[in-house]
Amino acid sequence: MKIGIAQINAVVGDFPGNVKRLVAAYRECMEAGADLVVTPEMSLVGYPPRDLVFKSQFVPKCLQALDHLAGEIRSVPLLVGYVDHHAEGRGKPFRNAAAWLQDGEIRHRIWKSLLPTYDVFDERRYFEPGESCEPIGWNGHRIGVTVCEDIWTEDYLQRPFYDRDPAAELAARRIDVLINLSASPFHVGKPAVRRALITDVACEHGVPVVYVNSVGGNDQLVFDGHSLVVSGEGKLLAALPGFVETCHVVDLDTAPEIEPPVSEAAADLYEALVLGLRDYVTKCGFSSVCLGLSGGIDSALTAVIAADALGPQNVHGLTMPSGFSSSGSVDDSIALAEKLGIRCDVVPIQSTFESVKAAMKPVFGDLPEDVTEENMQARIRGLYLMSLSNKSGALLLTTGNKSELAVGYCTIYGDMCGGLAVISDLPKTKVYEVSRWINREREIIPWATIDKPPSAELRPDQKDQDTLPPYDVLDAILEGYVEQHLSADEIISQGHEESLVRWIQRRVDLNEWKRQQAAPGIRVTTKAFGIGRRMPIVQRFNG
């Protein structure tokens, strides 16, 4: 049996465009000799559609597109993910579904059985689960079809969420192959977890598993592809590349075992951010971006990602020195722009800063200068950048990292201005790791930018470490508090200083209001600020 895997990049709600992608991939797989072609979860819809499904015409238009797609399918079947109505009985109004298309018809409809409601998922808000799992008979074979969560067993979750095991139900009906249509978002380390999961499922049930995953960025989520085929003995038969659309045909009967692909965490993080930025910008209808270049590592990394994602001709930087900016900051910004081939303009803010202070003098009186004047500078820069964005039509990128965002070391309506926070889920230590990886063969980010102590340069001789602990310490505590949900006492028991832990805890909690006004960011860790983390602003819990 030759199975074609179509790892496609769907756009949420773009039914005509997604049909074109599916037809093109189907034909490519057919030409390569596929007997059956499989596509990701909701590949006709784009994942996740969220509350679009409640719009009165969304599901009807999806079903019209499905009928149109079926008309393009010949004797080689196509498995495609879509959204269907759930009209009968009680329950939620829709189904997360897969359709078996063949000879111009919809031959079979399969309902997703296990609906995740954790982390970034909220499928029980919309969908009714399938009640049973039945194999599809085709060409003398018995095909088991599952959708994403249906194969995630309790061994790979913190606790068992479900009483059913669809893979086991299908295996008990003596299937010949198990197919999984998936939209599994990326976080660092996720591809290896999936490979282990799929291998275990294949070995447990003694059947080959064909796993096809979405690729592409949709809002804050990045889908990395990395589709797989594993034999019933646990041998890896196919491993599609990550972060690119691609098609591949694998013969389950003759494919040789291959070595698992090896990747670096920094490389995966970089590729995820490039893909996430490119798709966010282009799927939203933009063609160019702008950003502030401070001479620091965060803006430098963001600029590299943007130039790679969109082409250097579509990236415009501003470096905006004040009286507190070092000459090195401007020089490093210009050097970076020259290496990347992006435009960089120097627009000083000092005269505007002095004008704002003078305008506020009658209000402030003799009050001494403090963080207010620091924030003025950040907000002036935000004004300049938003003006450039408005005038040019370029999407403004913010450049803050996760460590700063966590503790509020950023200025609302200042450096937080923008439409996409590219590295807001990248801790500062990872910013350095990815930047050094970028420079692994030649200098792209000036080494002076990487090596100098980080500074906001909003007051004389300012350094980040005047306010924050060393970033390796800060990031370790934040990982415990934000990603692992540990209490302050539990983190202290790991050997961290009590006063520091409690200071960081309080800073994280107090700045929830600020993060909820931040631009959406690209998720690359297990717990990003945004879609997967829902904390109240008004609360008094301390633990």
- Whichever domain contains 336, its CATH number is 3.40.50.620
| Pair 275, 254 in one domain | no
Give residues with Cβ within 8 angstroms of 518, minimum separation 6.
398, 405, 416, 421, 424, 529
Angle at 306 between CA 416 and CA 309, to 5 degrees: 140
Question: Would residue 348 count as lying in a domain?
Answer: yes
Q: Which of 29, 62, 133, 148 is catalytic?
A: 148
- How far is the C-alpha of 3 from the C-alpha of 100, rounded, in Å? 14
Same domain, 75 and 144: yes
Plot region of 230 (φ>0 → left; ψ -120 to 50 → alpha; else → beta): beta
Residue with tokens 């784009």: 46
Residue 119's φ and ψ, nearest 5 degrees, are 50, -120
Residue 472, classed as helix, strand or coil, is: helix
Answer yes or no: do 189 and 335 share one domain.
no
Q: Is residue 94 part of a domain?
A: yes
List all residues 6 or more positions away from 38 whose beta carbon is below 8 Å from its beta carbon: 3, 4, 5, 6, 78, 79, 179, 181, 210, 212
294 is in an annotated binding site: yes
Contact 474, 464 (CB under 8 A): no
Residues 182 and 221 grouped into a single domain: yes
Was 92 annotated as part of a binding site? no
Beta-sheet pairing, 236-239 with 228-230:
antiparallel
Judged on CB neighbours under 10 Å (0-12, 13-18, 19+), 533 is middle
Residue 46, annotated ligand binder? no
- Whether residues 141 and 175 share a domain: the answer is yes
- Number of alpha helices (DSSP H) and beta strands (DSSP E) in the chain: 16, 19
Tell me which of 234, 263, 292 is where a domain ends: 263
Instruction: Per residue of the chain (543 residues), give pLDDT as tens.
Output: 999 999 999 999 999 999 999 999 999 999 999 999 999 999 999 999 999 999 999 999 999 999 999 999 999 999 999 999 998 778 999 999 999 999 999 999 999 999 999 889 999 999 999 999 999 999 999 999 999 999 987 555 566 678 899 999 999 999 999 999 999 999 999 999 999 999 999 999 999 999 999 999 999 999 999 999 999 999 999 999 999 999 999 999 999 999 999 889 999 999 999 999 999 999 999 999 999 999 999 999 999 999 999 999 999 999 999 888 777 789 999 999 999 999 999 999 999 999 999 999 999 999 999 999 999 999 999 999 999 999 999 999 999 999 999 999 999 999 999 999 999 999 999 999 999 999 999 999 999 999 987 765 666 665 666 678 999 999 999 999 999 999 999 999 999 999 999 999 999 999 999 999 999 999 999 999 988 888 888 888 887
Q: Is 96 annotated as a binding residue?
A: no
- Tell me the C-alpha distance between 534 and 543, whole Å: 17
Residue 133 appears among annotated catalytic residues: no
Check 41, 149, 245, 457 and give the catalytic one.
41
| Residue 293 annotated as lining a ligand binding site | yes
pLDDT at 453: 76
Note whether 131 and 197 are same-domain residues. yes
344 noted as active-site residue = no
234 shares a domain with 209: yes
Residue 474 lies in a domain: no
Per the annotation, the verdict on 203 as an active-site residue is: no
298 is in an annotated binding site: yes
Question: Does some domain include residue 492?
Answer: no
Do 436 and 275 touch, CB atoms closer than 8 A? no
Residue 375 annotated as lining a ligand binding site: yes
Predicted confidence at residue 542, as pLDDT, reads: 82
Strand, coil or helix: 121: coil
Q: Assess contact for 455 and 462: CB atoms under 8 A.
A: yes
Q: Is residue 167 situated within a structural domain?
A: yes
Pairing type for strands 395-398 and 228-230 reads unpaired
Residue 131, domain extent: 2-263
Residues 277 and 253 in one domain: no
Q: Is the peptide bond before 40 cis (omega within 30 degrees of 0)?
A: no
The one catalytic residue among 2, 112, 428, 527: 112
Whether 404 has a binding-site annotation, put simply, is: yes
**Number of domains making up the chain:** 2
Pick the last residue of a domain from 263, 281, 316: 263
